[in-house]
Amino acid sequence: MLQKSRPQASLLTQMVQTALKLSLFVFIAVSLLTAVWLLTDEPIKQAEQRALIQTLQQVMPASHYDNDLLADTRTIVAPEALGTNEPVTVYRARKDNQPVGLVIQAKTQQGYSPNMQILVGVNVQGKVLGVRVLEHAETPGLGDKVEPGKSDWIHSFLNKSLQSPPPERWTVQKYGGAFDQFTGATITPKAVVEKVRDVLQLIEKRGETLYE
């Protein structure tokens, strides 16, 4: 019986040693991953924040406000106007603690491809300060003219409001509207124009409550 127990004891010792080695390996791997995360997490967050600020400033120029846009926010739910059932972040711009404008992101399903993302900046008087299409999969050479690098069309929203032109003319010329369409393409510009109008109407409806 003693001779038979020795191999069993030896096997048990090997199993324990193997388990300890694996545990040590896992501990070292987790420690390394944690260290890498600690070293890179904050720089990544800072880079993401800088990129977001640069995007917001395309539709809300930095000269217009002196507060922290990323800290001065609220969330709203407005499926019809914003094209999503999810809460949407509203960035509030202020200067000397006074409201000067809002930046709101919206989606439209009306382009050639679904879920086109639009960012709209509006001043406190209801005039558009800028519009950018953040995400799309429109046809190259046609729908992609919403990009400022492809054409100047996206800048045509500057200083527009629900009074100029009135809401019924917030579409492209083909449908009796005040906005140009692209040569050979009307679906994409029509979708963008009408979604910007929806955002303006939402802001007009909710008014000062968006700054509270």
pLDDT tens digits, one per residue of 43-59: 666 666 677 788 899 99
Identify residue 188 by its one-letter amino acid code.
T
Where are the chain's structural domains? 1-56, 63-211
pLDDT classification of 145: cutoffs 50, 70, 90: confident
Q: Provide mean pLDDT across the span 24-36.
A: 82
C-alpha distances (whole Å) from 22 to each of 8, 31, 193 are 21, 14, 60
Question: Which one is predicted more confidently, 79 or 148?
Answer: 79
Q: Provide mean pLDDT across the span 11-33.
A: 81
Between the ranges 31-40, 111-120, 188-197, where is the mean pLDDT highest?
188-197
Spatial separation of the C-alpha atoms in residues 71 and 153, rounded to whole Å? 31
Angle, alpha carbons 32-35-41 (nearest 5°): 130
pLDDT classification of 1: cutoffs 50, 70, 90: very low
pLDDT of residue 64: 95
Q: Which percentage of the chain shows pLDDT scores above 90?
A: 52
Q: Which residue has the tokens 């400033």?
A: 57
- Average per-residue pLDDT in the chain? 85
pTM of structure: 0.74
The answer to whether the beta carbons of residues 169 and 140 sit under 8 Å apart is: no
Identify residue 37 by its one-letter amino acid code.
W
Q: Provide mean pLDDT across the span 86-98.
A: 96
Q: Give the pair of three-digit tokens for residue 36.
A: 């890498």
Residue 2: pLDDT over 50: no
pLDDT of residue 52: 78
pLDDT classification of 14: cutoffs 50, 70, 90: confident
pLDDT classification of 116: cutoffs 50, 70, 90: confident
User: Which spans in the chain are helix H?
Assistant: 2-56, 79-82, 187-206
